[in-house]
Each structure stands twice: as C-alpha cells, then as structure tokens.
Structure 1
Amino acid sequence: MPHDIDDRADALNEAYRHHSAHAVLERALSDSQVGKLAMVSSFGAESVALLHMVSKIDRATPVLFLDTHMLFAETLTYQMEVAEQLRLRDVRILHPDRAEVMDRDNEGLLHLSDPDGCCALRKTEPLQRALAGFDGWITGRKQYQGGARVQLKFFEADGDHLKVNPLAHWTSSDVQDYMVENRLPRHPLVAQGYPSIGCAPCTTKVAPGEDPRAGRWRNRQKSECGIHFVNGKPVRVSA
C-alpha cells in the first residue's frame, strides 16, 4: 500500500476512475487504503444529496458541521431537520474557540476587514482540530462549481489527510435529479435566490444568469473559505 499521501490519492483515483459516485463513497468508507473518514457538510443548498447517500451506506458515519455563529437561522434549522429525517447517528457540531473569538473578533466584525482571517477563526481552525482523529474526509465539491474545482478528482491529498470527493463529476442537473428522485428537502433559502449558502454576512442573493457562487464574498477576490487545500495551501482566492 502506498505510504505517501499523494501516491495513495493517485492509486485510489486509478482504482476507482470508472466507478459511480455511490460506489466511490461506499468503497471509500470500507477501503483500508482510505482509512477512517468523516464527512464534512455545510448543510447548504446541495448538501442533502451526499448526506442522503451517506445515510444509505452507513448512518453512523461521523458528519462534521461547522457552526460559525454567523450562519443563517434557516441553515441551523435545516441542519437539524435533515439530520433527523436521514437518521444520521453521529452529527458533530463544531464551534470556533470561544477564547480565540473574544481575542480576535470580539465585536463580530472581522469579516469586514479580514474575511480570510474570519474564515480561519470560525471554519479552518475548528475543522483542523476535529479532523485530527481521522485519516481523511468526504466533501461534496464538484467540478462544475468552477474555479480551483474544475480539475477535481475523486481522491486528493490534503496535507496529512486524504480527501474524498464522490460527486466530483456530477453536474448541477445530476444533483437536482437525485434530490427530486429521493424526495429530499431543499434548503429554504434556495427558493429565495441563494443557490450557494455560507455565513449570512458574506452571502448575497444571485441574479438569474450569474454563477451560482457569485453571491459568496461578493466584490471580493475570494471564492473559498479556506478549509480546502491545493498543494498544501488553503484555497481562498479566485483562480
């Protein structure tokens, strides 16, 4: 078995390159080369598709949800409803460190002057702490989302962790069809013009014809929160 994380990712991509999303996820959760996995979910606009897939394979899979304390109230309600409906057994709510928040963002305005610093405080650092006990994590990222995601593969190296992207090759239509076929609940903000949903202060509505992620950090040179890495570096700036 390859020991280097990049070699492992390459070997797994070769082994699973002709597999479906469901098959990749199912085998990843049981493959010794992958190791112990957690799913990281925002419970956002499209998250329910992969959450449903995980629930059908193993409801006990740990699901990590980052409550930044700046999310829309609708997201918090949706998270609880989806977890209950899918009967997910191990949803872990992650919070930013209280002392760090008081020290670095006691007025809750850091996102205005330093959005990268705010994401680091409220997302990246809590997630890194939570992932310490896992060999890798599952994401819902897809190539069609653009930017740094266009070359996305099923498996990739992420520092000391292996990242699994079962839906890498799905289109937006694939996601929507899956949600309809399985009668999955939709995030209430989607109908209000939010096709991509993050923290409330940094998410705006998207006009018809705009890129679905255009409402994230609008008018800033930023397209990712920083929890995803490429070549060991956090991806935050638009490619």
Structure 2
Amino acid sequence: MTVPTSDDLALWPARWAGLDGAALIAAARTALPGRLAAIASFGTESAVLLDLIAQVDPALPVIVIDTGELFDETHAYIASLTAHLALTGVRIVRPDPAEIAAAADLWQSDPDRCCGLRKVAPLARASRGYAALIDGRRRAHGFGREAVAPAELRDGVLRLSPLVGLDDAGIAAAFAARALPRHPLERAGYRSIGCWPCTRPVAPGEPARAGRWPGAAKTECGIHLPSSPPAAPPARTEAHPDHE
C-alpha cells in the first residue's frame, strides 16, 4: 500500500471542493484505501452521516469516543443505530485511566482541558495511521463553522465533511427519506449532544449548538481544531471515581 505524502494530501482539498455526501466519501475511499476513517458522536445528526458511510462501505472504520461522561441514551443509541445500519467498523475508544483521573470534575473549572483529556488525546491515539478523517460538521451549525470546507488539510490529515452544505431542512429530509432512527434525547429538546455535564436542551429558536457548554466561552471540544494536546496527567497514587 502506498503511503500518501503531505504533498499528495495537499492536492485533494481542491480536487474534492465540489463533492459532498456519499460522493465525497467514495472518492476518499478510492484515493486512500485503508487510510480512511470516520469520527462519529452518535448525536442527533449522526445517523445521516453514518447512513452515507453505510451506503459506501459499512466496514469503514468509525471511531467513537466514549469519554466516560456520555448519556446512557447515547450508549443505547450507539448499539441500536450500529445494528440498524449494519455497520461493522464501529470502534469505541476511551481515555486511559490516568486521563480519567486527571479529568475528574474538570468540566466545572477547566472544560477545555477536560475535553482535551477525555476526547482529544484518545482520538489522537485512535486515528494514528489514517490519512483522512470524516466528520459531521455543517456550515449551518454556526459557532465558527460557517467557513468549513468539504475537504481541508490540517495537522497533516485530511478532514472531510460530507454534510457541510446541508441546512436543518436537509438533515430532516435525509432522516425522513431513509427512515433513520432518532437519538432518544431529541424528544426532550436536545439538539446537539455531548457529555451529560456540559449539554442541555435548547429553547425554541435557539441554535442547536447553544446547548453545548452552557455558560462557558467555548464552542468546540477540540477535535475539530488544530492540535494542541493536553499536558500529560500527573501521576496518581489514589483512585478517583468517574462521574458518569
């Protein structure tokens, strides 16, 4: 298998600028066999992205970060949606014990570092060796995502966003057309779902991502930002319970 160089990867964003949806995923799978994976949160919109992946290649690796603070409903949705779409490449990755210990209660005082330990560091390990990662970002999310491109090279890895041009009506239409199951918390007003301590329902008229990190000057967990890995957690001699 030929390993693409950084110069090779730099060419693809311009070539794929006009692609989206399943066509973008298929182009990347052809160009980068064995070097493509997806990141999925199994949130309120994930079924649309995962359905596209299932149409192209149900065995494509799908990385899911279990932070230790996911809603029980999200755990159930991971199982049910994976079965519904017959995905065989779903891989659950978790922070290591030292990261969990160092992150205990950080969501209250330092949510950036909490996300760094619980999400960014585990994803960095899990995604080593992949040349491209698929994600579910859309320009319509707002909160700094308005200029997201279908393909962009960041930190030496291609980031592909097949849903980038879809608005909320387009997401709803995809759910209806494909009879996709919804996240169980959506009925309770949750429109963007992450860890339970940092997620709330949104009021009518609020943007979906207004429910993430309420009250904090924060709009991203960090996995969609240029890399800035957290410092290694300090050595611990006593156990600290996880707060799931």
Fold shared per TM-score above 0.5: yes
SS at match of 2:128: helix
Q: Does 1:162 align with 2:158?
A: yes
Q: 2:138 aligned with 1:138, yes or no? A: no
Aligned partners of 1:166, 1:209: CA distance in 2, in Å? 26
Indicate conservation of the 8 Å contact 1:139/1:166, yes or no. Answer: yes
Equivalence map 1:46-195=2 (5 Å): 46-102=45-101, 104-105=102-103, 108-195=104-191
Structure with bigger RCO (C-alpha 8 Å, 6+ apart): 2
Shift of 1:3: 4.3
Which moves more between the two structures, 40-49 or 83-92? Answer: 83-92
Shift of 1:158: 2.0
Equivalent AA in structure 1 for residue 137 of structure 2: R
Aligned-partner residue type, residue 105 of structure 2: L
Residue ranges of structure 2 left out of the alignment (5+ in a row): 230-244
Deviation at 1:35, TM superposition (A): 6.8
State the distance in 2 between where 1:100 and 1:25 align. Answer: 33
Matched residue type, 1:71: L
1:215 aligns with 2:195: no
CA shift for structure 1 position 17: 2.9
8 A contact 1:196–1:216 mirrored in 2:
yes
Contact 2:21 2:52 (C-alpha < 8 Å) held by counterparts: no
- Alpha-carbon distance between aligned partners in 2 of 1:20 and 1:148, rounded to the nearest angstrom: 20
How far, CA to CA, are the matches of 2:123 and 2:90 in structure 1? 14
Compute the displacement of 1:233 (Å).
5.7
Distance in 2, matches of 1:216 and 1:109, equals 17
Corresponding pairs, count: 227
Q: Which amino acid aligns with 1:194?
A: Y
Q: Deviations over 1:31-89 (max 9, x none)?
A: 14x87111100000000001011011101100111111101100000000000111111
CA shift for structure 1 position 177: 0.3
Query: What is residue 26 of structure 1 aligned with on the other side?
Result: 26
Supply the distance in 1 between the matched residues of 2:18 and 2:216 (Cα, whole angstroms). Answer: 38
Cα offsets for 1:209-228 (capped at 9, x unmatched): 11111110011100000111
Kindly state the Cα deviation for residue 157 of structure 1 after the two structures are TM-superposed: 1.6
Over the aligned positions, Cα root-mean-square deviation in angstroms equals: 1.9
Residue 8 in structure 1 maps to residue 4 in structure 2: no
Secondary structure at the aligned position of 2:158 is classed as strand
Question: Residue 175 of structure 1: CA displacement?
Answer: 1.1
Residue 132 of structure 1: SS of its match in structure 2? coil
- 1:136-191 deviation per Cα after TM superposition (whole angstroms, max 9, x unaligned): 21001011111221111111122121111111111111111011100000001111
Identity of paired residues, percent? 40
Q: Which runs of 4+ in 1 moved over 6 A?
A: none
Query: How does the TM-score come out when normalised to structure 2?
Result: 0.87
The amino acid that maps onto 2:151 is: F
